[in-house]
C-alpha cells in the first residue's frame, strides 16, 4: 500500500487553498463540506467562489501567494493555481513546515492525495488509485454509487443514536455484532431505505426490547474457496467470509482468498501437508462444532469444492450429529478451474464423452483404482493428488491398454499468477517431470482433448515475482 487512507477531522480548522479557478473551487467545496474554515488566496475568484465568499463561507485574500502565508496556522494546504512554479513553491514550503499539502494532479508534489468519494454522510467511501489514474478512481466510484443506496447515511444515523443502548443491552461483542447485523439487513433497514424513518424507529425499539442477549448457537459454513484465483469465488462464499467470526482454513487456500475474509475475524490454521497434518481430521470436526456452540459464525474454508476430495462430508457428519446448523457453499474444483485456465476442454464431442475425477493418492505405496475403467477410450481422466504417484499412474494406464502416445498435462498452481502447465504423452511425461520438477499442488489430466490446449490455451500466467508464491498445497486432501 503506497498511501495510508485516513479520514481527517477539519471541523472549524483553518485550511488554505492557493488558487481561485475551477480546480480550486472544487477543492474549496470539498473542504467546506467537511466543515473546514477555508481561506483562499488568489487575485481573482470564479463566480462560484465569489458567491461562497459573499455568503461568508470562505475567507478571501485577494492577492498573489507569498511565502509567509504558510505561517498562518493552517492544518492543511492545497495548491491549485494554473502556474506550476507557484504550486511547486507552495508544496516545498508546506513540506518545510511539515504541513500536509496537495498539489492537484501532481502526486509527486503531494504529501496527501484526495480520493474520489461516495458521500452518504455519515457514511463516506473513499477510493484511491494511488495517483495512478483519477479516471479509474472515478469509474470505481460510479460503480459504488450505484451499489450503495442513498438511505445508508440515514441508517448510520440510527446506529449512532442507538449505539449506547445496544451496547448496554449486549455486553458480549459477539451478541452485539449479531444484533446489529440483523438490524442492518432486516426490517429496520428496509424501512429506512423506503424513507419511513418514524416506523424504522418503532421497529427498532421493538427489536431492542425483544432481543435476548447470549445463548445463541452459531453456525458453520463449509465454503469452497476455488482453486486459487479469488475472482472464482461465489458471491455467497464472499458474503459469508465477510461475516465470519472465525475462519478455519488449510494449506490449499490461497493467500489472496484469505485476504477477502473479514479482517478482524479469528484465523485458525489447521493445515494439511503430505504426511504432516497440523491437526487431525477428528480434531478439526470437533473444533468446528465447539466454535459454533460458542455462538460463533465459523467459515470452514477449503480449496476447490468441499465435497470433492475435501473431506467435507466427514466434517458436516459431526456437525449433523451434534445438532450444529451448517451450510455448504460449493466452489470451483481444481479440475474445472485448472482445465479452463489451461485451455483443456474436459469433454469434447470428438475426443471425450465423459470425464472422471479420481484420487491419485498413494496408499501403502500403491493406488487402488479401477484401472480397466480408467483406460477406456474417449474420456478424460483427472487425477487429484497424483504427483507423487505419477510413475504408477503412467504404468497402470499403459498396462491396461492406453497408448503411450496419449496426451497428458500437469497443471501446477492452476488459475493463479504462478500457473505452469507441463505436458507430454504417457511415454514422455516422466522425463518432463524429472527435468521440470513440478511442485504441489499439481493436477494431472489425461486424454485426447489435452492436445487441444495448444490451440485453445488463453491464460497467460503473469508469474510476477512480487505476488510471492501462493501457499503451497499438500498433495493430499
Q: Hey, which residues does 268 pair with through a beta bridge?
A: 248
Alpha-carbon span 234 to 364, nearest angstrom: 37
Catalytic site residues?
250, 272
Alpha-carbon span 128 to 131, nearest angstrom: 7
Give me the residues that bind ligand SAH (CB under 6 A), please.
227-228, 252, 302-305, 308-310, 333-334, 338, 384-385, 411, 413-415, 440-443, 473, 475, 477
Cβ neighbourhood burial of 298 (10 Å; 0-12, 13-18, 19+): buried
Residue 328's alpha-carbon distances to 251, 272, 315, in angstroms, are 19, 21, 11
Alpha-carbon span 461 to 357, nearest angstrom: 25
Cβ neighbourhood burial of 357 (10 Å; 0-12, 13-18, 19+): middle
Alpha-carbon span 49 to 56, nearest angstrom: 11
Nearest to 420 by CA among 371, 382, 375, 469: 469
Residue with Cβ nearer ligand SAH (101 or 374):
374
- Kind of pairing, strands 379-384 and 354-359? parallel
Alpha-carbon span 100 to 469, nearest angstrom: 38
DSSP 352: B
Helices (H) and strands (E) in the chain, counts: 17, 19
CB 389 within 8 A of CB 360: yes
Alpha-carbon span 283 to 477, nearest angstrom: 15
Q: What is the DSSP string of 214-242?
A: S----EEEEEE-BSS-GGGS-HHHHHHHH
Cell of 105: 494532479
CB 234 within 8 A of CB 210: no
Q: How many CB atoms lie within 10 A of CB 176?
A: 16
Nearest to 31 by CA among 133, 129, 100, 107: 100
CB 217 within 8 A of CB 191: no
Cβ neighbourhood burial of 380 (10 Å; 0-12, 13-18, 19+): buried
Residue with Cβ nearer ligand SAH (188 or 355):
355
Q: In the bound complex, what is the minimum distance in angstroms from residue 227's beta carbon to ligand SAH? A: 4
Residue nearest to ligand SAH (CB): 304
Say how far residue 147 (Cα) sits from the centre of its chain: 17
Q: Hey, which residues does 422 pair with through a beta bridge?
A: 410
Nearest to 13 by CA among 30, 32, 40, 26: 32
CB 216 within 8 A of CB 295: yes
Amino acid at each position: 500500500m503506497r498511501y495510508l487512507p485516513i479520514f481527517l477531522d477539519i471541523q472549524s480548522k483553518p485550511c488554505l487553498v492557493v488558487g481561485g479557478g475551477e480546480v480550486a473551487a472544487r477543492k474549496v467545496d470539498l473542504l467546506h463540506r467537511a466543515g473546514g474554515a477555508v481561506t483562499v488566496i488568489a487575485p481573482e475568484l470564479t463566480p462560484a467562489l465569489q458567491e461562497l465568499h459573499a455568503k461568508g463561507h470562505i475567507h478571501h485574500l485577494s492577492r498573489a501567494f507569498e511565502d509567509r502565508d504558510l505561517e498562518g496556522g493552517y492544518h492543511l494546504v492545497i495548491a491549485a493555481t494554473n502556474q506550476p512554479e507557484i504550486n511547486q513553491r507552495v508544496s516545498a514550503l508546506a513540506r518545510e513546515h511539515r504541513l500536509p499539502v496537495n498539489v492537484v494532479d501532481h502526486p509527486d508534489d503531494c504529501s496527501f492525495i484526495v480520493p474520489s468519494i461516495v458521500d452518504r454522510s455519515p457514511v463516506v467511501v473513499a477510493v484511491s488509485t494511488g495517483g495512478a489514474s483519477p479516471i479509474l478512481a472515478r469509474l470505481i466510484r460510479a460503480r459504488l454509487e450505484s451499489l450503495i443506496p442513498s438511505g445508508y447515511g440515514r441508517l448510520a444515523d440510527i446506529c449512532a443514536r442507538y449505539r449506547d443502548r445496544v451496547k448496554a443491552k449486549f455486553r458480549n461483542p459477539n451478541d452485539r455484532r449479531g444484533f446489529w447485523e440483523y438490524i442492518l439487513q432486516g426490517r429496520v433497514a428496509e424501512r429506512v431505505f423506503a424513507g419511513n424513518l418514524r416506523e424504522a424507529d418503532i421497529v427498532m425499539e421493538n427489536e431492542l426490547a425483544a432481543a435476548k442477549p447470549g445463548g445463541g448457537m452459531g453456525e458453520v459454513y463449509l465454503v469452497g474457496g476455488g482453486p486459487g484465483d479469488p475472482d472464482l469465488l461465489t458471491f455467497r462464499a464472499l458474503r459469508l467470509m465477510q461475516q465470519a467470526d472465525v475462519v478455519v482454513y488449510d494449506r490449499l487456500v490461497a493467500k489472496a482468498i484469505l485476504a477477502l475474509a473479514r479482517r478482524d475475524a479469528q484465523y485458525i490454521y489447521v493445515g494439511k501437508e503430505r504426511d504432516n497434518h497440523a491437526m487431525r481430521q477428528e480434531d478439526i470436526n470437533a473444533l468446528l462444532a465447539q466454535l459454533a456452540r460458542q455462538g460463533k459464525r465459523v467459515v470452514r474454508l477449503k480449496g476447490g469444492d468441499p465435497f470433492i476430495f475435501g473431506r467435507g462430508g466427514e466434517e458436516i457428519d459431526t456437525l449433523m450429529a451434534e445438532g450444529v446448523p451448517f451450510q455448504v457453499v460449493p466452489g470451483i474444483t481444481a479440475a474445472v478451474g485448472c482445465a479452463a485456465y489451461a485451455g483443456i476442454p474436459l469433454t469434447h464431442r470428438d475426443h471425450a464423452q465423459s470425464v472422471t475425477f479420481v484420487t491419485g493418492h498413494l496408499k501403502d505405496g500403491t493406488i487402488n483404482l479401477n484401472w480397466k475403467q480408467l483406460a477406456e477410450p474417449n474420456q478424460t481422466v483427472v487425477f487429484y493428488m497424483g504427483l507423487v504417484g505419477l510413475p504408477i499412474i503412467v504404468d497402470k494406464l499403459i498396462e491396461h491398454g492406453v497408448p503411450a502416445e496419449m496426451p497428458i498435462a500437469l497443471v501446477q498452481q492452476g488459475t493463479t499468477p504462478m500457473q505452469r502447465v507441463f505436458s507430454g504423452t504417457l511415454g514422455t511425461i516422466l522425463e518432463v517431470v524429472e527435468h521440470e520438477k513440478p511442485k504441489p499442488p499439481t493436477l494431472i489430466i489425461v486424454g485426447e482433448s489435452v492436445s487441444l490446449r495448444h490451440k485453445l490455451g488463453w491464460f497467460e500466467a503473469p508469474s510476477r515475482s512480487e505476488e510471492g508464491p501462493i501457499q503451497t498445497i499438500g498433495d493430499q486432501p
